[in-house]
Amino acid sequence: MANVLIAFVSMSGNTEEIADMLRDELKQLGHTVTMEEMDDLMPAEMLRYDAVLLGSYTWGDGDLPYEIEDFYDDLEVMEFDGLKTAVFGSGDREYPIFCGAVDTLQKRLKETGANVVTEGLRLEFAPEKEDVETCKAFVTSFSNAL
């Protein structure tokens, strides 16, 4: 089984709740999981893992949160050469760009040579009961690619 990093940023706790759900599902599948807050993480640390999930809420009109702007900028010079990754996030459908941070992070990961192995997970606010199956499907797809 894989050694997986889940790195996230959460302001209201919604993205952290998603991260917790994903961690629990990955552990049930036998993976080793480490969780870190993204604003405390250097992108080079991602290379210590077999696979990485990045999670972020979307701020304003599809923007990355200010807390991870440095992390995002530092990603630009990284070379991940096939590192298996995926992105998840929370957002608010009231804004024109729903979960835009997911798209922004996926694009940057691809630019670094990372292998984004499954389409990003986008949830409105905190995960609800109806989101459990969506989260499980995301984890299953991610896990199958490892």
Q: Copy the structure tokens of residue 50.
A: 């077999």
| Secondary structure of residue 116 in the 3-state scheme | strand
Which of these, 36, 52, 58, lies nearest to 113 by C-alpha position? 52
Half-sphere exposure of 2 (CA within 13 A, CB side): 21
Which of these, 55, 62, 44, 61, lies nearest to 21 by C-alpha position? 55
For the chain, which residues make up each domain, given as ranges? 3-145
pLDDT of residue 72: 97
Burial class (CB in 10 A: 0-12, 13-18, 19+), 85: buried
Q: What is the pTM of this model?
A: 0.98
Q: To which H or E segment does residue 23 belong?
A: helix 14-28
- DSSP letter at 37 equals E
Q: Copy the structure tokens of residue 92.
A: 């608010």
Give tens-digit pLDDT for 106-138.
Answer: 999 999 999 999 999 999 999 999 999 999 999
Report the C-alpha gap between 136 and 133 in whole angstroms. Answer: 5
Amino acid at 39: D
pLDDT of residue 25: 97
Q: In which band, very low, low, confident or very high, does the pLDDT at 92 lie, cut at 50, 70 and 90?
A: very high
Q: In which band, very low, low, confident or very high, does the pLDDT at 55 lie, cut at 50, 70 and 90?
A: very high
As its CATH architecture, domain 3-145 has: 3-Layer(aba) Sandwich (3.40)
